[in-house]
């Protein structure tokens, strides 16, 4: 074996000049591990640049990044950590854990420019072990070392990410300035920290980052992989953004980046980087890493398209809260004025528009409203046009519940069709999911589930026929199927709620036994979806299939505990969310002891009362069964309240149509 290795080394020695003519890469030192020749130099180099966004990348200031984006795979990076603001220390620790970390210290008024020392890792581990994320700072280094490799970091943040959970570091002390020594290090994994690209002098900061990346790329060994990431926000930043993700190497041809954690090109996450590094070394990621390895999918996006994704994300961040303030404010002012004047037709029109407005907001994403300045006016304008069209369609209904039922059906239909066609309207929509929040990138999120549950249940209640069964099957399948909604908590909440609705519409007695059967049916449906998903390849699985694996490994309890903690933390995150239980309690009292006008409408059409009870059941279960589940009842109320007001206005007008 030694003789064969010697011959192989001589062959490489004679051939290496011809192989190295193209570029001045350093040769890769060789060592023998288990009798097999393996590179002793860097196999994976990660350059982390706080604050680097695609809007910073252009031919003039960052020619190296433009070149690498054309040569390799590019994506949009979500840097979500466990901190309120994703500061550089949080970003580097998250990179080194493969899970969301919050650095010890305060995060108020922007990000500090300083880093805790690597010796703080044991304290970082203790501080994060009780958090719902279950992150283990230093896990990347621990895993790399456990498999006989070395990991080194240049710069205080990079050395923090390269430190083991016990605070130990490998390689010589390096402040990151000596790029030549880093790129030619003997460690298999090298992390390099670049100068932050802050809010001031962004062009010069991006140019400095580009020069660093260009030098690392020039010096790295042939066959190695270079990852360039905007690892966090920059010191002083207070807003959340998406950042640059680049991968250049044998496994990353020109294409779009994605991962099993996002399931949507070109989006990847910061928590994916540690599993990606391990995958490139041929090492399996530990269970405490929640990310998934980067891979390529589809053609590469142009720089213009990547900048547009960033701008769309910024637009959603800026318009979401104002959108709902305007939506609720218009309904309160216009509807309240019409109520005072007892203009029931106007009340009905305002209520129908309010019911369909959220559904219309999804369709607004068919047009690039985020490219218009100011984006809020563009978003409101497009939504208003679609809402007006939906309201006209609703007026075709003749019965007491018909118009409100059509409004709910249109809203539910938009979401169902969107899920069946890839959920493209969910991304960066005001009632969908946000890349900076990183709760979901595909399927059905909690916000949209609240809208879908309320709209679908009330639409089914308005039919009072066998159509209910068809709607039940369609919505549950679309919500739970891995390739569409992949929503565990949604199915567990929807099936009992639909069972309650069907029993009440059929005049059957509702008792604990029947509700228990309905709950068991929901669990059975979820289990079936999960087992099917778990049978797929790991990189194709959704969280449904991964949860089945967690159940089999005995880790499901910790996952459920973290979901419950996430619910409580979100519920008391602000005074607005803390008031949600009060609002729900008020609505429950209003439902159980309705005023005269509402009681009369219920008596005339008990189907709507059954639908509202089903919505309450789905909202309560959705809150309990989902992390960040407080969004479920909140959005259900946004749909159910105006729909019910439309029914009351229709009743007050003395409609003689069938209920």
pTM: 0.85
pLDDT tens-digit map of 356-368: 999 999 999 999 9
Whether residue 192 contacts residue 181, with contact meaning beta carbons closer than 8 Å, is answered with no
Q: What angle do CA 512, 489, 469 make, to 5 degrees?
A: 65
137: preceding bond cis by omega (within 30 degrees): no
Whether residue 399 contacts residue 655, with contact meaning beta carbons closer than 8 Å, is answered with yes
How high is the pLDDT of residue 542?
66
DSSP assignment of 169-188 equals --S----S--HHHHHT-SSS
DSSP assignment of 601-625 equals HHHH-HHHHHHHHHHHHHHHHHHHH
Phi then psi for residue 570, to 5 deg, are -70, -40
| Measured torsion, CA atoms of residues 231, 236, 242, 243, in degrees rounded to the nearest 10 | -40
The secondary element (H helix, E strand) that includes residue 406 is helix 402-420
Query: What separation in angstroms does the CA of 461 have from each of 402, 478, 502, 611?
Result: 10, 19, 9, 5
pLDDT tens-digit map of 151-183: 999 999 999 999 999 999 987 555 555 676 676
How, if at all, do strands 30-33 and 225-229 pair? Answer: unpaired
All domains in the chain, ordered by first residue: 1-39 (no CATH), 41-301 (3.40.720.10), 308-652 (no CATH)
**β-pair partners for 31:** 38
| pLDDT beneath 50: ranges in the chain | 1-38, 574-576, 655-659
């Amino acid at each position: 074996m030694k003789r064969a290795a010697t011959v192989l080394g001589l062959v490489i020695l004679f051939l290496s000049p011809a192989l190295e003519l193209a570029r001045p890469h350093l040769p890769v030192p060789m060592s023998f591990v288990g009798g097999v020749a393996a590179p002793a130099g860097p196999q994976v180099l990660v350059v982390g640049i706080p604050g680097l966004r695609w809007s910073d990348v252009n031919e003039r200031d960052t020619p190296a990044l433009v070149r690498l984006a054309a040569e390799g795979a590019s994506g949009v990076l979500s840097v979500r950590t466990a901190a309120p603001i994703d500061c550089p220390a949080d970003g580097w620790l998250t990179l080194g854990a493969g899970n969301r970390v919050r650095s010890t210290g305060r995060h108020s008024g922007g990000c500090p420019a300083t880093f805790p020392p690597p010796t703080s890792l044991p304290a970082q581990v203790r501080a994060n072990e009780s958090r719902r994320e279950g992150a283990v700072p230093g896990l990347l280094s621990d895993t790399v070392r456990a498999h006989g490799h070395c990991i080194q970091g240049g710069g205080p943040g990079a050395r923090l990410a390269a430190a083991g959970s016990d605070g130990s570091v490998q390689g010589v002390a390096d402040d990151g300035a000596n790029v030549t020594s880093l790129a030619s290090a003997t460690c298999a994994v090298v992390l390099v920290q670049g100068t932050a690209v802050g809010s001031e002098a962004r062009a010069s900061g991006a140019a400095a980052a580009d020069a660093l990346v260009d030098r690392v790329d020039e010096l790295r060994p042939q066959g190695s992989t270079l990852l360039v990431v905007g690892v966090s926000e920059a010191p002083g930043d207070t807003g959340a953004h998406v950042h640059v993700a680049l991968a250049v190497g044998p496994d990353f041809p020109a294409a779009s980046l994605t991962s099993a954690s996002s399931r949507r090109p070109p989006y990847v996450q910061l928590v994916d980087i540690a599993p990606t590094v391990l995958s490139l070394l041929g090492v399996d990621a530990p269970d405490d890493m929640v990310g998934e390895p980067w891979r390529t999918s589809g053609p590469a996006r142009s720089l213009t398209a990547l900048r547009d994704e960033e701008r769309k994300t910024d637009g959603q961040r800026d318009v979401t809260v104002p959108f709902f303030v305007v939506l609720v404010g218009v309904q309160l002012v216009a509807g309240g004025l019409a109520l005072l004047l007892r203009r029931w037709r106007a009340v009905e029109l305002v209520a129908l528009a309010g019911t369909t407005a959220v559904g219309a907001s999804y369709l607004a994403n068919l047009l690039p409203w985020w490219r218009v300045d100011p984006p809020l006016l563009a978003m409101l304008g497009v939504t208003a046009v679609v809402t007006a069209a939906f309201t006209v369609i609703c007026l075709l209904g003749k019965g007491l519940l018909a118009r409100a039922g059509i409004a709910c059906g249109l809203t539910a239909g938009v979401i169902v069709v969107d899920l069946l066609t890839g959920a493209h309207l969910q991304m960066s929509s005001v009632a969908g999911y946000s890349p900076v929040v990183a709760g979901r990138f595909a399927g059905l999120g909690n916000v949209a589930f609240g809208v879908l549950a309320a709209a679908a249940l009330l639409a089914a209640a308005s039919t009072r026929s066998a159509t209910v069964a068809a709607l039940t099957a369609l919505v549950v399948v679309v919500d739970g199927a891995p390739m569409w909604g992949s929503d565990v908590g949604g199915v567990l909440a929807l099936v009992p709620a639909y069972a309650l609705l069907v029993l009440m519409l059929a005049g059957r007695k509702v008792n604990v036994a029947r509700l228990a059967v309905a709950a068991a049916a929901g669990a059975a449906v979820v289990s079936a979806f999960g087992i099917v998903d778990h049978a797929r390849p790991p990189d194709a699985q959704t969280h449904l299939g991964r949860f089945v694996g967690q159940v089999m490994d005995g880790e499901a309890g910790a996952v459920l505990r973290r979901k419950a903690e996430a619910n409580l933390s979100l519920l008391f995150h602000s005074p607005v969310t803390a008031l949600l239980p009060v609002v729900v309690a008020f609505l429950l009292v209003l439902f159980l002891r309705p005023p005269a006008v509402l009681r009369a409408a219920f008596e005339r059409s008990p189907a709507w009362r059954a639908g509202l009870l089903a919505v309450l059941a789905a909202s309560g279960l959705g809150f309990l069964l989902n992390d960040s589940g407080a969004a479920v009842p909140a959005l259900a109320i946004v749909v159910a309240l105006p729909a019910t007001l439309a029914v009351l206005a229709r009743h007050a007008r003395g409609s003689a149509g069938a209920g």
